């Protein structure tokens, strides 16, 4: 059972919406990644990602989010795109 997180007002671009559909990523998974994921500033964007450490720390309910990256605009927080990649070594701390 997933933990309740505070309501997040998501602004999703058309590109991100189509990528979510192509990659079977749900809006509730985006909310979990934004709330529980690690944050990295990279290439003029803010990237949130969930890896094994976040799953171990917060619970098994995050397992479906493992490997999901959410790329957001640094100005207004709009979600630009989202993808799956289990290799988190490229993210800066």
How many domains is the chain partitioned into structurally? 1
What is the distance between the alpha carbons of residues 22 and 29, in angstroms, rounded to a whole number?
A: 15
Domain-located, residue 89: no
pTM: 0.88
Write down the residue that tokens 């094994």 correspond to: 52
Domain-located, residue 91: no
Residues listed for the chain: 93
> Using 50, 70 and 90 to split pLDDT, how confident is the model at 18?
very high
| DSSP, res 2 | P
Domain-located, residue 7: no
Domain-located, residue 33: yes
Domain-located, residue 6: no
Domain-located, residue 45: yes
Q: Which domain holds residue 44?
A: 14-84
Q: What share of the chain is helix, strand, coil (3-state, %, to 5)?
A: 35, 25, 40
For the stretch 58-77, pLDDT in tens is: 999 999 999 999 999 999 99
Domain-located, residue 92: no
């Amino acid at each position: 059972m997933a933990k309740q997180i505070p309501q997040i007002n998501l602004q999703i671009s058309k590109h991100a919406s189509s990528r979510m559909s192509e990659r079977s990523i749900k809006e509730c998974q985006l909310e979990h990644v934004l709330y529980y994921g690690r944050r990295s500033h990279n290439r003029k964007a803010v990237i949130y990602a969930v890896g094994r450490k976040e799953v171990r720390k917060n619970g098994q309910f995050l397992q479906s989010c493992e490997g999901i990256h959410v790329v957001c605009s640094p100005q207004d927080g709009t979600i630009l795109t989202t993808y799956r990649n289990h290799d988190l070594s490229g993210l800066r701390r």
